[in-house]
Chains A and B, each alone.
Chain A
Amino acid sequence: MKTFKPLLLIALLILASCSDDDDGTPPVINDEEVITTLTVTLTPNGGGPDIVLTSRDLDGDGPGAAVITGGTLAANTTYTGVVQALNELEDPAEDITEEVAEEDDEHQFFFQAISGANITTMYTDFDGDGNPLGINLTLTTGDASNGTLRVTLRHLLDKNAAGVSEGDITNAGGDTDVEVDYPIIIQ
C-alpha cells in the first residue's frame, strides 16, 4: 500500500491544476524571420546620385502584395552596390543584413539579370572560406535595355556546387529567405 499515497498526491495535484489560470489576452507575435523590406543601393562609381531599388511587403505572408520600386540606370556604367534586408514588422525595424553577415557561411545573395537587362554583377565580400556573400557587390550595366533584376537570398545552400561562387543560383539548393524582382531600365 506504500505506492498508494504518492499516487493519490499525483491525482490531487492534477485536479488542483485544472483551475483556470490565464484569462488575459495572449501576447502578439510578429514573425521574426521575415524580410519585409529589401533595398539595393547603387552608387555610380563616377559620381552622381544613388539609385535605390526597394521592395516593401509590410504584411509579410499576408495577401497584400509587395510594393516594388525599380530604377533607371545609366548605360555602360559601374555601380557599387549594398544590399539591406529589414524586418519592419518589429519595432524598431530589425536589420537582418547584420545576421546574414554573422552567419555568412550559411547565406548568399544572388543577382540575376532577367528578360534582357544588360547587367553583370560581381561579389565584393566573402565568408571565412572565401566564398561570396553578396551584401556588397559591383554592378555593371551594358547597352541600353529593359528587364528585371532578381535578388535572392538563400540559406543553407551548397556554396561549393558548380557555378555558385560565380553567382549562378541553379545548383545552389537551400531555402529561399527573400526573392524580389526589380524592374530595371537602362538608358
Chain B
Amino acid sequence: MRSIILILLFIGTSTTYSQQCNFTLKGNIIDFHDGKPLVDASIVVIKDGNILKSTTSDSKGKYLIKGLCIGKVELYVSHTECNSKTIPLEIKGNTTRKISLEHHLENLNEIVITGEKREQGISKATSVQTLKTADIEQFSDASIGDALKEISGVSSLNTGSTIVKPIIQGLNSSRILIITNNVRLQDQEWGIEHAPNVDLNTADRLTVIKGSGALQYGGDAIGGVVLAKPKALATKDTVFGKTILSGSSNGRGGSVSSSVDKGFNNGIGLRVQGTYKRFGDFRAPDYFLTNTGTEQKAASFNFGINKFLYGAELYYSYYDTEIGILQAADLGNVTDLIRAINSPVPEIIEDFSFDIGLPRQEVKHHLIKLNSYLRLKRLGKLGFQYSFQFNDRQEFDNRSFIDDDIPVVDLELTTHNLDLLLEVNNLDNAKISTGVSAIYQENFADPTTGVRRVIPDYEKYGLGVFGGIAHDVTDDLLIDIGARVDYTRIDAQKFYRGTFFDDRGYNIDFADIIVEQVGSQILVNPVFDYTTFSATLGLAYNINETLDLQLNYGLASRPPNPSELFSEGLNQASVAFELGDLRIEEETSNKIALTLKGSLFNGRLNFNVTPYINLINDYIVLQPSEDGVITTSRGAFQEFEYIQNDARLVGFDVDATYDYNDYFQFKTSFSYLRGDDTEAERPIINIPPANWFNTISYNNKKLNNLSLQLKSEAVFEQTRFPDNNFIARTVVNNEFVDELVDVSTPPPGYHLLHFNSSIQFNLSKLTKLELGFAVDNIFNTNYRQYLNRFRFFADELGRNFKLRIKLNY
C-alpha cells in the first residue's frame, strides 16, 4: 500500500513547457439542439493531462484563449446544463472552432437544485440544501452547529452556548454523518456534549441532506448528512487569500481566520489556512455565565495536483479547542440538582473573566487525507482515498481528592479509512457509481484518570460495499437507486462492576464473554457483529417549467454506538446515571420525504415544501429506568437506561423567498415536527419545537453591495414531551420530604430580533474589503431553549454586537 501512495504522490510532478506560444483559439459555444449560445461554459485546454489554459464563454457564448503553442491538445468543454465533451484539436496557428454541446440530464439538475452544483456522491434526485461561502463567513467566529441552523429543519442540541450539535429533522449525534473534505468525521460524536470538531472556516460550502441520500459515506444516516466542503484547489497560476476578523461584545472576544491559495500552471495547488478564536465569559441579559469562555486553534494544509486525467491531494487539518462549561451546572447529586433547578439565577455568578477554569473540555483532532483520482477512457473516474483521524478528548472537573489537572475523561480515538470509488459516466442516460469503504477504529481510554472508563477500550472494523445508478427515464424524470451493505465488528475490553453485571442479567446471557474477575470488577470481551443494509430511492420529476417534485425514500440502518452498549454510570453533564445495554441491536429507519420546489411570478417567488415521515424500528432511546433513582454513597441520582422502541417522526419544512423588487427581499422558513415512541405511546424527548424565521433584507449592488437584514426568530413552546419527572427524597426543615423534580417541562416559547449588515469596497483590482455589523438579540430578551441541556440553570445569551472585517486579496 505504501508503494501505491508513493506512486500516486509522484504522478504528474513532471511538467513540460513549450516555447513558441502566441497563438489564439476562439469560437462560439452553442446548444446542439437549438443553436442558442451557451453562457458560462467552461473550456479547458489540456495537453498530456496537464491543464494549460482555461476560460469561460461570455454572454454571447464566445470564448477566446490566448498564448497557445503549436501541437496537439484536447479541449474539455463543460456546462452545467449540458453533457461535457472532450475534443482533440491540433493547434497549427490561430484557430477558430465552433463547439456544440448537448443538453443532458444536467438540464433537470439545473431546475431541481436551482443551478447549484452537486456535491460528489449525491444523486440529483436527492433533496439537499446548501449554505454558501457568504452565509458561512457570517459565522466565522461561531461553530458549524450555529451556521447549520440557517437551514430549515436543522436545529441544534446545545450544552451551554458553545457546545452546539446539529439536529436534522429531530435527530442528532450518531444519527448524523458529518463529512469534512470528503472524510467522515470520527470524533466521538455519540456524546450529547461532544460538538463536531470542525473549524467552520475550512468549509466553502455546507450541504445538508435530510436523510440517508449519500450512501457513499455510510448507510447509518438515520437523521441526515452534513457535508462541509472546502474550495477546490487552484489549478492555474495564481495567488489569492482571504482574512476574516470578527469581534463580539458578548464574550468580549472574536476570531481571526486566514487562508492563502497558491496555484501553478501545471495543476499544482496549495492552500494554508488557520483560525484562532478566543472568548471570555458570555453574558445572559442579567448576569455573566461564569466559566463559559472558549479558545480554539485550527489550521489546515492542502496540497494537490489536479489535472484532467488524474490528480492527487494531501490534506491535513488540526483542530484544538478548550471549552469552559458553566460552573453553575457542575453538580454533585440530586440534592444539588434540585437546588440548582430551583435557583432562578445560576448559583455561581462572578465578574467577567477570560479564564477557562473547571469544568472544561479540551479536545484535539487531527485529520490526514490522501486521495487521488484517475479518469479512465470510455469508463469514468476511479477514486482512491485514505484518511487518518486522531481524536483526543479530555474533560476536566473539580476533583475531590485528586489534582484537578488530571482529567476525569481521557479518550483517544484513532480511525483509519480506506475508500475506493468508481464512477461510470460514459453511458448515454445513466450514471453508475460504486465503491468499497473500509474502516479500522481503536478507542483507548487512558487509565491514569483514576475514574472508571466511560467508554471502554475497543476496536472496530467495518467494510461497506455500495452501488447506485442514476437513470434518466425521460427528459423530465430521473430515477436514482442505491444500495449499501455494511459489516461492522466491535471488539471491546470492558470492566463491569460485578454487581452491575449480575443485576443486568449479563451473568446468564453473557457468561461466555467473561475474561477474568479483577477485585470487584469483571473484565469481559464482548465481540459484536452487525450486518446492516441500507438503500435509497430517489425520483426527480419536472412537472413543468415552474414546478419540480422529488420523492426520496431511504432505508438506513445503524449499529449501536459504544455509549449505547457500554455506558455504566454517572454522566456528569446531566447529573444522571446512564446505563447502556449489551443486548441493544441496530436501529432501522424508513424515511420518505417529498420535496416540492416551485418558482412563481417570473421567478420572484421561490418556495420549497418538504413533508416527511421517518419510521424507525428499534429506535435507541434513553428512558428513565424502572428504579427511577439510584442511591450511591454520594446521594441519589436519577437513573436512565437505553432501550429500543419503535418511533415515528413526522414533520415538514417550508422555505420561501420573495423578491419584492431589485432591492427588497422577504424570506421565511417554518419547521414543524412531531416525534412519538409508538410502543410506549409517548412523545420522544428533545424534539425541536416549531420555529418560524422571517427575514427582510435590502441589497443594493450599486451602493457597494450594501446589505441590510432584519431577522425575526420565533420559537414556540414544545408542548409534546415525555414525563421524565421523578420523586427525590430531600430534607426540608430537618424532615424528609418527597419532592417532585421537574426535568421534563420545556421552557416557554420566545421571540428574538437580529440585525445584520454588510458593505463591500474594492480597494484595488484584486483587493476587496467587506465590513459587517450585526446585533444578535436586539432587545436583550431573557429566554431559555428546550434543546439546551443547561436550560435549568441559566438564560441564553443576551444582546451581542458583532463586527466583521473581511479582506479578499
Interface residues of chain A, those whose CB is within 8 Å of chain B, are 1, 3-4, 7-8, 10-12, 14-15, 18, 22, 25-36, 38, 55, 57-66, 89, 91, 96, 99-100, 103, 107, 112-115, 148, 150, 152, 154-156, 173-180
CB of B519 closer than 8 Å to a CB of A: yes
Interface residues of chain B, those whose CB is within 8 Å of chain A, are 1-2, 5-6, 9, 13, 303, 314, 316, 330-333, 335-336, 339, 347-348, 368, 370, 388, 398-402, 416, 440, 444-445, 447, 449-453, 456-457, 493, 495, 497-500, 503, 515-516, 518-521, 523, 569-570, 577, 630-635, 731, 734-736
Contacts of A114 in B (CB 8 A): 731, 734-736
A91: shortest Cβ distance to chain B, in Å? Answer: 7
Contact at B633–A180, with CB atoms within 8 Å? yes
* A-B contacts, 30 listed (Cβ < 8 Å): A11-B9, A15-B2, A15-B5, A22-B444, A25-B493, A26-B445, A28-B518, A28-B523, A30-B521, A31-B450, A31-B451, A57-B633, A59-B497, A59-B498, A59-B520, A61-B570, A61-B577, A62-B503, A64-B499, A65-B631, A66-B631, A89-B520, A99-B400, A99-B401, A107-B400, A115-B736, A175-B330, A177-B332, A177-B634, A178-B634
Contact at B336–A176, with CB atoms within 8 Å? yes
Q: Which 7 pairs show the lowest CB-CB distances between chains A and B?
A: A32-B450, A176-B332, A175-B332, A179-B635, A62-B497, A99-B401, A59-B499
Knowing A1-B13, A7-B314 are in contact, say whether A63-B630 is a contact too (CB < 8 A): yes
A66–B632 Cα gap in the complex (Å)? 7
Contacts of B499 in A (CB 8 A): 59, 62-64
Knowing A1-B13, A33-B402, A114-B735 are in contact, say whether A61-B569 is a contact too (CB < 8 A): yes
B142: shortest Cβ distance to chain A, in Å? Answer: 31
B592: shortest Cβ distance to chain A, in Å? Answer: 41
Knowing A28-B519, A173-B347 are in contact, say whether A156-B314 is a contact too (CB < 8 A): no
A2: shortest Cβ distance to chain B, in Å? Answer: 12
Contact at B633–A15, with CB atoms within 8 Å? no
Contacts of B456 in A (CB 8 A): 26
A112–B335 Cα gap in the complex (Å)? 14
Contact at A25–B520, with CB atoms within 8 Å? no
A112–B736 Cα gap in the complex (Å)? 11
Contacts of A59 in B (CB 8 A): 497-500, 520
Contact at B635–A176, with CB atoms within 8 Å? yes
Contact at A31–B452, with CB atoms within 8 Å? yes
A31: shortest Cβ distance to chain B, in Å? Answer: 5
Contacts of A180 in B (CB 8 A): 633
A91–B447 Cα gap in the complex (Å)? 17
**CB within 8 A of A150: which of B347, B521, B731?**
B731
Contacts of A89 in B (CB 8 A): 519-520
Contacts of A107 in B (CB 8 A): 400
Contact at B500–A35, with CB atoms within 8 Å? no
A154–B635 Cα gap in the complex (Å)? 11
Contacts of A99 in B (CB 8 A): 400-401
Contacts of A148 in B (CB 8 A): 736
**CB within 8 A of B632: which of A12, A60, A115, A154?**
A60
Contacts of B516 in A (CB 8 A): 25
Knowing A28-B523, A177-B332 are in contact, say whether A11-B515 is a contact too (CB < 8 A): no
In the complex, residue of chain A having the shortest beta-carbon distance to the beta carbon of B501 = A62
**CB within 8 A of A63: which of B398, B500, B515, B518?**
B500
Contact at B6–A33, with CB atoms within 8 Å? no
Contacts of B519 in A (CB 8 A): 28, 30, 89, 91
A41–B518 Cα gap in the complex (Å)? 32
Quick one: which of A8, A89, A176 has the most chain B CB within 10 A?
Answer: A176
Knowing A15-B5, A31-B452, A59-B498 are in contact, say whether A96-B735 is a contact too (CB < 8 A): no
B12: shortest Cβ distance to chain A, in Å? Answer: 12
A154–B634 Cα gap in the complex (Å)? 10
A10–B498 Cα gap in the complex (Å)? 45
**CB within 8 A of B5: which of A11, A156, A174?**
A11
Contact at A32–B401, with CB atoms within 8 Å? yes
A105: shortest Cβ distance to chain B, in Å? Answer: 14
Contact at B634–A176, with CB atoms within 8 Å? yes
In the complex, residue of chain A having the shortest beta-carbon distance to the beta carbon of B388 = A14
In the complex, residue of chain B having the shortest beta-carbon distance to the beta carbon of A55 = B633
B455: shortest Cβ distance to chain A, in Å? Answer: 12
A11–B6 Cα gap in the complex (Å)? 9
Contact at A176–B736, with CB atoms within 8 Å? no
Quick one: which of A3, A30, A103, A148 has the most chain B CB within 10 A?
Answer: A30
**A-B contacts besides A28-B518, A89-B520, A180-B633, 10 pairs, CB < 8 Å:** A4-B13, A25-B515, A29-B449, A30-B520, A96-B401, A99-B401, A150-B731, A173-B347, A175-B330, A178-B633
A78–B357 Cα gap in the complex (Å)? 44
Contacts of A25 in B (CB 8 A): 493, 515-516, 523
Quick one: which of B333, B440, B577 has the most chain A CB within 10 A?
Answer: B333
In the complex, residue of chain B having the shortest beta-carbon distance to the beta carbon of A96 = B401
A42: shortest Cβ distance to chain B, in Å? Answer: 20
Contact at A32–B303, with CB atoms within 8 Å? no
In the complex, residue of chain A having the shortest beta-carbon distance to the beta carbon of B500 = A62
Contacts of B348 in A (CB 8 A): 173
In the complex, residue of chain B having the shortest beta-carbon distance to the beta carbon of A176 = B332
A15–B5 Cα gap in the complex (Å)? 10
A32–B734 Cα gap in the complex (Å)? 32
B723: shortest Cβ distance to chain A, in Å? Answer: 24
**CB within 8 A of B447: which of A27, A66, A96, A177?**
A27
**CB within 8 A of B634: which of A7, A64, A100, A179?**
A179
A156: shortest Cβ distance to chain B, in Å? Answer: 5
A150–B636 Cα gap in the complex (Å)? 13
A33–B458 Cα gap in the complex (Å)? 25
Contacts of A179 in B (CB 8 A): 333, 335, 633-635
A32: shortest Cβ distance to chain B, in Å? Answer: 4
A36–B444 Cα gap in the complex (Å)? 27
